[in-house]
Structure 1
């Protein structure tokens, strides 16, 4: 129950922050789900379109944008499962107005006791950037934040 209230409160807080369009708020939100049937960690990241465009120095309406986003995510997110570094597989992206949705995954994960994640998305370009990540593994939810000076986090299950 406390987790539900916390998640609801966090959601309301984020919605209220995003409702101030003229206010520069630098954040990303990532949802990580473990899919037991396929032994896959699936990542879904929501980013601000103009911020990603500035970071990649490419127009989001061009065909080359997805390739640049893929390269950018691969250069700014590192994951180790149970102490072993893993390779991210980019599965796509979608520009939807002010948001870019980025999809990537890690396959062949049979069991997770720890995840060590480095997330520097947009932190170099925007020092006030905060990256929030909700990780769900077999019914357990962990939330971690990344920001300048705290780009790496580890969770245990």
Structure 2
């Protein structure tokens, strides 16, 4: 689940990604086979944060009004069987069109379905991406 919310007062976009912990660990382990990754009890939290940030940045992109926006990694937190990963995009004027590229976990499970929800003020829209589909557009 990817939740994207525009905060007009701060002119920011908050991006929250929820992934099952074991799916994220297994996916990153496949990329870094020489490291026994443990997100809940990391041996090296800076390295785990770096790999989570790199993984999501390489598979999730937000374009606002035809401009690719840099997502700033905030961090992650464990919640039950999932991990919430947080990003922020600063200095964003009121969006008219938002394009989302999302291939999270496609390299781990070909049957992966990614839910995306975008909230802009009181308006909220949702979409579902199923492999191999990887883009969705939200217009306001």
**TM-aligned CA deviation for residue 36 of structure 1:** 0.9
Contact 1:120/1:147 (<8 A) preserved: no
Task: Give the helix-richer structure, 1 or 2.
Answer: 1
Contact 1:115/1:154 (<8 A) preserved: yes
Partner of 2:90 in structure 1? 107
Count of matched residue pairs: 129
1:117 pairs with one of 90, 93, 100: 100
1-structure distance, mates of 2:62, 2:81: 27
1-structure distance, mates of 2:55, 2:78: 15
Q: CA RMSD in A?
A: 1.1
Partner of 1:22 in structure 2? none
Larger RCO (CA within 8 A; separation ≥ 6): 2
Partner of 2:33 in structure 1? none
2:123 pairs with one of 132, 137, 140: 140
1:43 pairs with one of 4, 15, 18: 15
2:38 pairs with one of 25, 42, 59: 59
Look up the SS of the partner of 1:69 in the other structure. helix
Look up the SS of the partner of 1:105 in the other structure. strand
2-structure distance, mates of 1:52, 1:31: 17
2-structure distance, mates of 1:112, 1:156: 8
Unaligned runs of 5+ in 2: 30-36
2-structure distance, mates of 1:123, 1:113: 28
| TM-score normalised per structure 2 | 0.87
2-structure distance, mates of 1:85, 1:104: 14
